[in-house]
Amino acid sequence: MKKLLPLLFAIIYCSAQAQQDPLYSQYLNNPIVLNPAYAGINDVFTASVGYRGQWNGLEGAPTTLSATAHSSFLDNKVGGGLVIIRDELGITTNTQINMTGSYKIEFGDNIFSFGMQFGVNSYRDDNGELAVRDAGDALFEGSQSFTKTNFGAGAILKGSNYFVGLSVPRLVNSKEEFGNVESEIFSRHYYLGLGYVFLLNTSLSLKTGALVKAVSDVPASVDLSSSLLFLDRYSAGILTRNFETYGIILGALLKENIRFNYTFEVPTNQSVGTQFNTHEIGLSIDLELLDGHFIKERYF
């Protein structure tokens, strides 16, 4: 049934949350979705898949699929990878494909990595799903699609029990013309990711994290999380986003190289209402594919 709700939802969501980028509650488990400097940082080949169904039950709600693969090369000094993200919001589908590269400097147990990415963002608006009052409005004529090139950059400082990452995944603001109307497609977003693990005893640790997201002329958005880690294999914790959404985080290390994570979120009435919950699932595997690759215990 054709309704205006998907479009209205998209407008409200983008303006209120200042996010044309997808949301990720599991950023510290797979930072490469936002920071190219993570490519190959752990001296192994890593492949990951993720799914986020946000605000289930609300028409036009966002869904995000991601697939990433990256590895270290040349005596683990450089990294490279591929990031594919498909994000749907109302009538809009955004597909991102980016190649990533990084260079690492190691000092003791610490690593500094700088990375860049290059790729394309493909946008498609299926206006046929809308009941448009003004059929001659160029902004809503038929289905519209276009592709924009993308450059991004990031840096990470990482130790055995801490993580600091700063990135701008898309450096170039994007605009597009619809008839005689110019519309802004994307505004530059800035990300600061932080993580620290407190060792409580030989069996128990506390992993804390934060992700700050900022865009011009809009208040910053802050994700905070805290999880207990048991035997460095199982985790359970809580999270909040702007103190408007709350959730639980569960994780498990299956075998020595397969990681599974699950997040369940409930927004408050300050957001879209408690009846629209969110599920996010992530699965990754580390492999020793090249000389110098070595699977080791890690928190990030």
DSSP-assigned letters across all residues of 84-143: EEEEEETTEEEEEEEEEEEEEEEETTEEEEEEEEEEEEEEEEEGGGS--S-TT-GGGSSE
- Residue position matching structure tokens 């986003």: 241
Q: Which residue has the higher pLDDT, 142 or 215?
A: 215
| pLDDT one-digit tens code per residue, 150-167 | 999 999 999 999 999 999
The span from the CA of 167 to the CA of 214, in Å, is 11
**Token pair for residue 25?**
């509650």
Task: Tell me if 180 sits within 8 A of 207, measured CB to CB.
Answer: no
* Residue 3 scores a pLDDT above 70: no
Would you state the pLDDT for residue 206?
98
The span from the CA of 47 to the CA of 282, in Å, is 11
Phi, psi of 282, deg, nearest 5: -135, 140
Would you state the pLDDT for residue 76?
96
Q: Which residue has the higher pLDDT, 207 or 275?
A: 207
**Token pair for residue 286?**
């580390």
Task: Tell me if 295 sits within 8 A of 288, measured CB to CB.
Answer: yes
| pLDDT one-digit tens code per residue, 164-177 | 999 999 998 777 66
- CA-based nearest residue to 64, from 251, 281, 296, 285: 281
Report the sign of the C-alpha dihedral through residues 36, 103, 208, 238, in that order. Answer: positive
219-227's contacts with Cβ under 8 Å and 24+ in sequence apart are 219/18, 221/17, 221/18, 221/19, 223/25, 223/27, 225/25, 225/28, 225/249, 227/251
- Indicate the pTM of the whole model: 0.87
- CA-based nearest residue to 102, from 149, 67, 154: 154
| pLDDT one-digit tens code per residue, 231-249 | 999 999 999 999 999 999 9
Phi, psi of 234, deg, nearest 5: -125, 145
CA torsion 126-130-133-139 (nearest 10°) is -20
